[in-house]
Structure 1
Amino acid sequence: AAGSRTGHSRDAESGSSQGEAADASDASDERVVALTEKVETLQEQRDALVAKADELEAERDRLQSKNGDLSATVERLQTRIEELETELQRARQREVGETEAGASAGAQLSPQQALSGTNLFVRYESKSQPTLETAHDGNADRSEVASNLRLEHHTGFDSSDAAVDGTPYEEFLESTMEYRLVDWLTEMLLYEIRDTGNSNGLGDLYDAIPRIDRAELGATISLADDETEDVPDQVTFDIAAYDKMGNPLVLVTLNDSREPATQELLGELEEAASAVKANYPDLAAAIAVTSSYFEPGALEVAEQATSGGFLSRGSKLSYVNLSRKDGYHLCLVESRSEGFHMNVPEL
């Protein structure tokens, strides 16, 4: 019996030891699981932190790039601000200068007011020296006459201190197409006609040039005494050149535009000039001048208006016949940087 109790005691101890070992094993497994989960959690946190770090680095790089762009933009804007400040300062200086010029210039005129109030007179330093009449007769060349001839202006206002859009009157006048055309008409055209052998073909105009006493800018010519139907009481021209008795000799219409001279412009010039010729027999020529060119329709008007067409080699070139004996030359002139050139008839 004692032996039996001893055996049972050993069995109990052995079972207890096995139970403790099993419990220890279970605890170890649980710890491994817990540690594994901890490791996985830490790895996930690490991966999240790495991803966040990468994201922050990318954001940093983007912000650095944006900062560089903004810095460049700031520099450009600063440069532009400085440029605008410089322009503003210059504009203010110009405004002050123009105000001072205007204050000292006296009368302020529009271009139209200045031109319509101006007459240009053909005068000579000495009548004993070569004149246009002398050159017309073949006894003087251009340089001899040019040194003696001058254009003097007379105005309906005090031109000594007048200004046109801020420009002194005389400076404005000499820059206009009107003044340059009168200068060409009195200083160059006679020799161009003579030297090209057209003094007979353009005889009326050639003979009229030495007779020019004055040129009125923005001229109005009265036709009030003409009772012909549809003839207006007056007609206007950009330039009208007169002799000493006030008879119109040359009429001029200007097209100072980039657009071509039109059929309508030539038609109006021919109609108005023909009405003037019917009332003022001394009229020698009507001239259309353009700083661009003449459109085909304008050339057709000139050709149809002139006897036999302006390409005709008749005794009178580009001539508008109003009767068997009366008429006038219809001429087309182009303005170029180097001066004026007559295209119809071609010189």
Structure 2
Amino acid sequence: MSTTDHLAAEVGARGEFRRQGNAFTSPFGDGPGELPVEAGRYRLIVGNLCPWAHRQLIVREVLGLQDVISVGTVDPIRGEDGWEFTLDPGGVDPVLGIHELREAYLKADPGYSGRPTVPAVVDLTTGAVVNNDYPRLSHHFELAWRDLQAPDAPDLYPEELRAEADALAEVIFHRVNNGVYRAGFARTQEAYEEAYAELFETLDALEERLATRRFLLGDHITDVDVRLWVTLVRFDAAYHGAFHCNRQRLTEFPHLWGYARDLFQTPGFGSTTNFDHIKRHYYSIPVVRSEFGITPVGPDEAPWSTPHGREALSSSPDRFRRHVGAPTPSTATEA
């Protein structure tokens, strides 16, 4: 099934976008049926364009797992049969030895007929995808992989905040993270307007919430901040135009814009952001691309590195070490 056919298959009776489920959801751990936690055993396949994959890159870097889990990167423009490793020499992932991510999905399940998605964790002992459960993958890195994290790694998912974090993350996923897709991929005016209204209603509530606190749950960055931020960083570059989420830009929300810059200037966030891949992908999607395949030049990336002043909202020092100057966006394919 082609990419276009897959997208059409994810549309409901009212013209609403219904994202496909995840086929490989085994958790990491040491219990029966769980995936063993071993340094060097897995390769995380990402697309720099994708918010779900970007979330895993941020958590991996913040927790110091770069030498524990390797990363492979697909082309930002999806091929007719799915994601391809055209950024690598010879168009082949240097570790997996495959051209299309679909090959690793078929090794896991020869009858797999869904849309091969990123992020995907591939077991190097078999070459097969073992986990593509993007909603929970960052939690696995935060909890099951704790013994392999850097000694000074922060706790992104503190036990005392999990109930509040999970409840907020659920709202953010349906109305913001997936909300922009529900607007962009809607096939009827009714479905589009419903998603649009929920998106901006939620952004308004988050704007108010961030007026009095530096991060979503207080003075320190948590997993739920990562989940919101990956959509915010793509908002003006892609969703505002390509997905018709155009009531206002991120830069027109004073507190959300300051918050987004605060995180961009935090190690692991700006350093894993590739605006070129983001724009090239979203303006190549069949339902939104122009007849001539033009990718916007803007918006200007420089304002992301301007002072945000949000330190004043914290009652305790930030746990994260700050880059001196602006972080350098990640553009290379990591082997």
Q: TM-score, normalised by structure 1?
A: 0.28
Give the number of the structure whose residues are more often strand, by fraction. Answer: 1
| Larger radius of gyration between Structure 1 and Structure 2 | 1
Give the number of the structure whose residues are more often helix, by fraction. Answer: 1
Q: Which has the higher contact order (CA 8 A, sep 6+)?
A: 2
Q: TM-score, normalised by structure 2?
A: 0.29
